[in-house]
Amino acid sequence: MPEEDAPVAKTYSVGIPQESEAFFLKGANHLGWGMKNRLSSIFDPGSGRTVMLAFDHGYFQGPTSGLERVDLNIVPIAPYADTLMLTRGVLRSVIPPTFTGGLVLRATGGSSILKELSDEHIAISVDDAVRLNVSAMAVQVFIGGEYESQSVHNLTRVVDMGNRHGIATLGVTAVGRDLVRDARYMRLATRICAELGATFVKTYYTEKDFETVTSSCPVPIVIAGGKKLPEAEALTLAHRAVQQGAAGVDMGRNIFQSGSPSAMIQAVRMVVHDDARPEEAFEYYQALVADTSDG
Ligand code: 5RP
């Protein structure tokens, strides 16, 4: 028999209503608890933004520069990322299961740089996504591309799969070679992804009118970094994007092809989470590089 508890006064706080906070992320207030919890592992609830480190490029282009050895090039800087964006093959074979940040899993594939890129299919079952404990699945959507309708169908099926299990869906707007990357196109592509159920959308920054892209999309937008730029320019791009309404970056080449990937991802964090000016962040980058070379 357990001992009887000594009487301890009870406090019911009658008259203090239980608070119910609005969820911090755009367009996510009416989602379920599991989905919101997963989104909180992707986006920092403090800043409302994310630094996603994208290194899924191998799924269509093989071992691209900077990703020849994910174990040596990416694993050491993974702790600086809020979220990793990757394929299940690399997740299982290289990423330590002790990584506790967000995971966004590439969920489509089927074409390579040798063929028509928009000819993709769903490349994972939701059972495996659950088994890998991912926060979101990412689907490439080729608006205006040759296989536009097939890629949109991939998105809607992954949204259905994810919704059944509380896993978010990232719609990735993929721009084919012949399409213009302007705000008009990005408004169209991001809005289609959101309307069809993507929980958040990845797109490219546009020099002009990017704030119209973020404001007309009812869910958060993160930007891809795109091709490698000098570090100061990449930090400026990230700064402009978040100041114009992006909820963060999903950056790959501008981090892993940088002269110092570790310094670069830390500088990107300053811009994204602390609203640092790009000049400040670049100075920080240079100081970190100098520290490393002093050894
Ligand atoms: C590949 C992708 C990449 O994840 C995305 O393009 C981000 O990488 P980068 O910053 O190098 O553009 O979606 O299809």
pLDDT digits (tens, 9 = 90+) for 53-80: 999 999 989 899 999 999 999 999 999 9
* φ, ψ for residue 51, nearest 5 deg: -110, 105
d(CA 136, CA 39): 8
pLDDT at position 1: 65
Catalytic residue among 202, 208, 227, 228: 202
Low-confidence stretches of the chain (pLDDT beneath 50) = none
The residue with tokens 């670049």 is 282
pLDDT at position 294: 63
| Residue 214 tokens, joined | 């973020």
The verdict on the CB of residue 110 being under 6 Å from ligand 1 is no
- Taking only the tens place, the pLDDT of each residue in 117-136 is 888 999 999 999 999 999 99
First to last CA, the chain: 64
User: Closest Cα to atom 2, ligand 1: which residue?
Assistant: 57
Cβ atoms < 10 Å from Cβ of 293: 8
- Taking only the tens place, the pLDDT of each residue in 3-38 is 777 788 999 999 999 998 899 999 999 999 999 999
10 included as an active-site residue: no
Q: Which helix (H) or strand (E) segment is 251 a member of?
A: strand 248-251
Q: Which atom of ligand 1 is nearest to the CA of 56?
A: 4
d(CA 43, CA 45): 6
The verdict on the CB of residue 120 being under 6 Å from ligand 1 is no
C-alpha pair distances (Å), 71 with each of 31, 81, 227: 35, 15, 22
Task: For domain 33-294, give the fold.
Answer: TIM Barrel (3.20.20)
Distance 284 CA to ligand 1 centre (A): 25
C-alpha pair distances (Å), 204 with each of 59, 66, 85, 181: 20, 21, 16, 8
Q: Which atom of ligand 1 is nearest to the CA of 172?
A: 13
Residue among 225, 171, 230 at smallest CA distance from 198: 171
